[in-house]
Each structure stands twice: as C-alpha cells, then as structure tokens.
C-alpha cells in the first residue's frame, strides 16, 4: 500500500520552478497541471533541429497542458533539466540528510554534471514535446459501450453473466491510486449484489498492475501525516475486506506483470489465470514496508513457508510458470492465445448455476474468513507504523532518485 511517510519525498514534485497555473484540473501534487494551451510548435531547420529561447518558454507553458501524471522519474528529470538550463550546473551546497525534499531535488540536478545550458534546454524541450505527443496519440480512451458509468480509473461491464472489473490506467501501468482503491471497492460491492455468476478482475494494456501509485502519499499530505495515515489505513483495510468477503467466484485474469498489492491479494481469489509473460513481484523490503493483502497468511499456506519468505522478505520475482508451480497461479496460457482461451473458459463457468457456485464457495471459504480478517487487521496495523518510519522515507527517496538518473 502507499507510504504516507513518503509524502515529503513526493512533495518535491509540488514545488515547481515554473509559474503557477491559472486553474488546476485536479490536484496531483506534481509539477504537472492540466491547463489547455496550444500545442507546442518547435522552430526547425534542416537537416538538424534547433531550439530557440522562444521554444523553451513555450515548453515551460506546455508542461501545464499535461493531463496525466507522467510519474516521479519524469518529474524529477523536468525539474533537473529546468534548473540546469536556467542556472547551469549545480553548485549549491548539498542539503542535509533530513532535508528530504531539497536533497532529492539537489541529487537530480547534480546528476546532470557539466551538461551545458543549451544542451539542458534542448533536452527539456524534447522531453516536454515527447510527453505531449504521447498524450495526444492516446487521448481517445477505448471503453466498451456496456461500461457502467461513474468510474474514472476502472471499467466495469456485465455481460454473459460475467462482471468484469478492468483496471484502466494503462499509461501508468495500471498503478493503483487512492481513487482506484475506492472505485474497486465500490465495484466489488455492486458486483456482489448483481445477477452475474462470476466476477473477473483484469488490467487494460501490457500490465496487470504496477502496484501502488507513489503519488498517493502526496495526495494526502496536506492534511498532515497522522490524518493521512488514518485515512489511508481505513481505505486499504476496507479494500482488502471486499476480497475476503466476496460471495461469488472471483477470478483474476493476469494479462501482464503484476507488482505489490495486485500480487498479494491473489491469495484471496478463487482462480488465477495468467499469460506466460506475466511476472509476480512483491518488493516490500526494498521500500521498507511489510506484507499486505493477507499475504503473510495466504502465501505460506499456498506455496510453503520458505518460498513465501523468499518472495515477501527478499523480493523474489516469480515468472508465470514459477507462480503456477507454487500454486499462486491456477494455469498459464501462451500470450498469443491468452485472451481467447481464458474467456472461452470463463463463459462456460458463467453458464453454471449461480446459487450452486455461491454456496459451494461459501463452504470452501467461510471457515477462513475470521482468520483472514484478523490477518488483515494486523497487517494494516503494521503498515501504519511502517508508513510513518524514517526507513520507509529513505527507501522511497532512494527509489525515486535511482529512477531519476538520466
């Protein structure tokens, strides 16, 4: 889940060297604000592209056009290139270790070394232009005509007795932000009561999910650390509870790599089908965190103590074949036939008697529910302590800084 203690680390993305925008589309705690400006036009001469000061000024404004958060790595690059382009190489004193915000900024700027200001200006313009182009090419969001309204980060459809919940943030590898946590919880609540026979969770694009969105920390930083910890803990606990209590067969269709919480909750599904290019990674120790999603109980039970320890404590990444051999995944399919084969099978399952399936699941699962709720509570308690620790802060900062290297 999200590291509230990392709020200060991500806060560096709020303090932009650019001018403040006139209106903000949505608070994303970053240098990126969604304002509508004309598309960036660069002055070019053949055979090479030349960038003028006017192009640089337009690029500064164009940053505000971005509607989607480009991620921590890109935002640090934008900051560092802007400073290098306007002030030259970093010659300011290194901030103290406890000055997390300014240290992260300083490290990103310092990593540019002696890059000339003209070179930094050119890289800044090119980076902004690539971000605008990427957004422009993907502005039309494909949604099914059967999609249920009211969801922004997921797509929910019910067809052929199947309710499908699709994580729908493909541009950020289906990273789970606070809104998506809430929307998945709501979608599961509704699916539990509808007339469908089975419910399926999958991802849109190349990733199943890259796990928790680190910007969750910044989005709650304004209310203070204690308030953020309580709010996020309650949100996360309710999210996991929906999986524990879900009354119908719940099936994961893992269409690509899965990270963090998207992996740990798989122990709460009834079936897990995966493409052969999927991977499963729970890098909690890398971020100073602890197991979540009841994985501290379900993983040892499913795959054995030593294999679960290797994965949960020592960040072992599993291939789809390895996950299947350990029991975390039910079956693996070739990627080129994955969707066709899986959905043929799911439609056959959905033709079975609904009440019979629900009663049978209840017999299989109900004896474990009390234990799972207890585990979820203990894990959330541990996570609350972890989110407020210096260890998590430093781990997240190190992660962001590594990603920001050019």
The DSSP 8-state label assigned to residue 206 in this structure reads: S
In a shared domain, residues 129 and 170 = no
Residues paired with residue 252 on neighbouring β-strands, in sequence order: 201, 272
At 168 the three-state DSSP class reads coil
Evaluate whether residue 339 is within a structural domain.
yes
Do residues 294 and 375 make contact, with C-beta atoms less than 8 angstroms apart? Answer: yes
- At 137, the pLDDT band (50, 70, 90 cuts) reads low
Q: Structurally, how many domains does the chain consist of?
A: 2
Residue bearing the bigger pLDDT, 219 or 247: 247
- Give the containing element (helix H, strand E) for 359: helix 354-387
Cα-Cα-Cα-Cα torsion 177, 179, 185, 188, nearest 10 degrees, comes to: -100
pLDDT for 276 beyond 90? yes
What pLDDT sits at residue 405?
56
Do residues 37 and 61 make contact, with C-beta atoms less than 8 angstroms apart? Answer: yes
In 3D space, the residue among 398, 394, 392 whose CA is nearest the CA of residue 288 turns out to be: 392
Residue bearing the bigger pLDDT, 102 or 166: 166
Give the domain-ending residue among 140, 175, 192: 140
Evaluate whether residue 404 is within a structural domain.
no
Domain residues for the domain of 235 are 154-394
CATH of the domain at 354: 3.90.226.10
In a shared domain, residues 357 and 267 = yes
In a shared domain, residues 68 and 35 = yes
With 0-12 / 13-18 / 19 or more C-beta atoms within 10 angstroms meaning exposed / middle / buried, residue 402 is exposed
Give the domain-ending residue among 140, 168, 185: 140
Do residues 235 and 212 make contact, with C-beta atoms less than 8 angstroms apart? Answer: no
Evaluate whether residue 147 is within a structural domain.
no
Tokens of 3: 């590291």
What pLDDT sits at residue 35?
25
- At 402, the pLDDT band (50, 70, 90 cuts) reads low
* pLDDT tens digits for range 8-62: 444 444 344 433 333 333 333 332 322 222 333 334 343 445 567 888 888 888 8
CA distance 20 to 134: 24
* pLDDT tens digits for range 160-209: 999 999 999 998 999 999 999 999 999 999 999 999 999 999 999 999 99
Evaluate whether residue 275 is within a structural domain.
yes
CA dihedral for 384, 390, 391, 392, sign (positive or negative): positive
In a shared domain, residues 18 and 105 = yes
- At 101, the pLDDT band (50, 70, 90 cuts) reads low
Mean pLDDT of 116-124: 90
Tokens of 276: 């052969």
Tokens of 13: 């993305």
- At 268, the pLDDT band (50, 70, 90 cuts) reads very high
Give the domain-ending residue among 84, 109, 140: 140
In a shared domain, residues 315 and 205 = yes
Residue bearing the bigger pLDDT, 34 or 305: 305
- At 380, the pLDDT band (50, 70, 90 cuts) reads very high
In a shared domain, residues 233 and 355 = yes
- Give the containing element (helix H, strand E) for 198: strand 198-203
Do residues 208 and 278 make contact, with C-beta atoms less than 8 angstroms apart? Answer: yes
- At 395, the pLDDT band (50, 70, 90 cuts) reads confident
In a shared domain, residues 12 and 54 = yes
Q: Under 8 Å CB-to-CB from 384, ≥6 apart: which residues?
A: 229, 230, 233
CATH of the domain at 87: 1.20.80.10
In a shared domain, residues 245 and 273 = yes
């Amino acid at each position: 889940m999200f590291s509230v203690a990392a709020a200060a680390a991500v806060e560096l993305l709020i303090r932009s060297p650019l001018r403040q925008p006139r209106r903000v589309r949505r608070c994303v705690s970053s240098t990126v604000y969604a304002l509508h400006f004309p598309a960036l036009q660069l002055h070019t001469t053949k055979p090479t592209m030349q960038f003028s000061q006017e192009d640089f000024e337009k690029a500064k404004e164009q940053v505000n056009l971005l509607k989607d958060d480009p991620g921590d790595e890109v935002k640090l690059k934008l900051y560092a290139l802007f400073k290098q382009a306007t002030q030259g190489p970093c010659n300011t004193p290194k901030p103290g270790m406890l000055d997390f915000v300014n240290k992260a900024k300083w490290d990103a700027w310092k990593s540019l070394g002696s890059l000339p200001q003209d070179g930094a200006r050119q890289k800044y313009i090119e980076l902004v232009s690539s971000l605008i182009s990427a957004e422009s090419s993907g502005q039309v969001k494909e949604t099914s005509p059967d999609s249920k309204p009211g969801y922004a980060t997921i797509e929910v459809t019910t067809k052929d007795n199947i309710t499908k919940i699709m994580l729908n943030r493909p541009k950020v590898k289906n990273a789970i932000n606070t809104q998506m946590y809430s929307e998945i919880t709501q979608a599961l609540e509704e699916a539990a009561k509808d007339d469908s026979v089975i419910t399926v969770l999958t991802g849109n694009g190349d990733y199943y999910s890259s796990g928790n969105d680190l910007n969750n920390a910044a989005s709650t930083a304004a209310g203070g650390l204690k308030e953020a910890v309580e709010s996020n803990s309650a949100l996360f606990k309710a999210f996991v509870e929906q999986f524990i209590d879900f009354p119908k067969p719940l099936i994961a269709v893992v269409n690509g790599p899965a990270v963090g919480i998207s992996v740990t909750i798989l122990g709460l599904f009834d079936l897990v089908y995966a493409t052969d290019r999927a991977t499963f990674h729970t890098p909690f120790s890398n971020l100073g965190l602890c197991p979540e999603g009841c994985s501290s109980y379900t993983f040892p039970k499913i795959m054995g103590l030593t294999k679960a320890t290797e994965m949960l404590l020592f960040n072992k990444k599993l291939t789809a074949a390895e996950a299947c051999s350990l029991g975390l995944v039910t079956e693996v399919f070739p990627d080129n036939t994955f969707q066709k084969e899986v959905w043929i099978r799911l439609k056959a399952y959905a033709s079975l008697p609904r009440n019979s399936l629900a009663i049978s699941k209840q017999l299989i699962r109900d004896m474990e529910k009390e234990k799972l709720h207890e585990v979820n509570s203990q894990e959330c308690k541990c996570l609350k302590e972890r989110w407020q620790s210096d260890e998590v802060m430093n781990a997240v900062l190190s992660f962001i800084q590594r990603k920001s290297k050019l």
